[in-house]
Structure 1
Amino acid sequence: MMPGGLSDTEPATPEIQKITDEVKPQFEKKTNRNCSTFQAIEYRSQVVAGINYFIKVQISEDEYAHLRVFQALPYENQGPRLDNFQTGKTRDDPLIYF
């Protein structure tokens, strides 16, 4: 993957699910809702001064959200940060930059 460019879409991995779990409280606070389901489905990544992850997450039986999560470089000792999100998505909506 080229720095600055988006990777291909890949199935979510345990590492991506861990990141998703870590930003779930941020998502719930920003959307004022509690999600009993918060399952990462697929993701793309972008290398910047850290990594932006674009993650498709199932948040209910038939509702999905797209998350943009920033993970700082390891020496900065910061957890993942939910920078942006889009709700009202379907399983088939492509992950694109937002």
Structure 2
Amino acid sequence: MMKCGGTSDSKPADAEIQSIINEVKGTVEDKVGKKLDTYEPVSYKTQVVAGTNYFVKVNIGDEHIHLRIFAPLPHTNQPKELSDVQRGKTAEDELCYF
């Protein structure tokens, strides 16, 4: 169960999460400074705000990264945006709020 303002429990990534991270892939590549041939979501957490924050652990081949993606409320018709990237993560690192 999610507490108000907190993040959900970690869940395995699915096709919806792959679609969400695909929307910000170009920005992620700019932030990490390279083209990502491997770009596979592993797990994710959500946080409901005025929209939804997605915290996603992503395998990029030689390392894992954690992404924070903000999805505005649907009625705003605004695109999802990459809020932050954490690099140098491992498959075992817990996905936390950042």
Structure 1: distance between partners of 2:78 and 2:14: 21
Q: Which runs of 4+ in 1 moved over 2 A?
A: none
Structure 2: distance between partners of 1:67 and 1:41: 11
Unpaired segments ≥5 residues, structure 2: none
- Larger deviation, residues 1-10 vs 19-28: 1-10
Structure 1: distance between partners of 2:97 and 2:58: 15
Unpaired segments ≥5 residues, structure 1: none
Aligned position for 2:28: 27
Measure how far apart 1:3 and its partner are: 3.2
Contact 1:3 1:48 in 2 (8 A): no
Contact 1:57 1:67 in 2 (8 A): yes
The normalised TM-score by structure 2 is 0.94
The normalised TM-score by structure 1 is 0.94
Q: Does 1:3 align with 2:4?
A: yes
The count of aligned residue pairs is 97
Secondary structure at the counterpart of residue 25 of structure 1: helix
Amino acid at match of 2:30: K
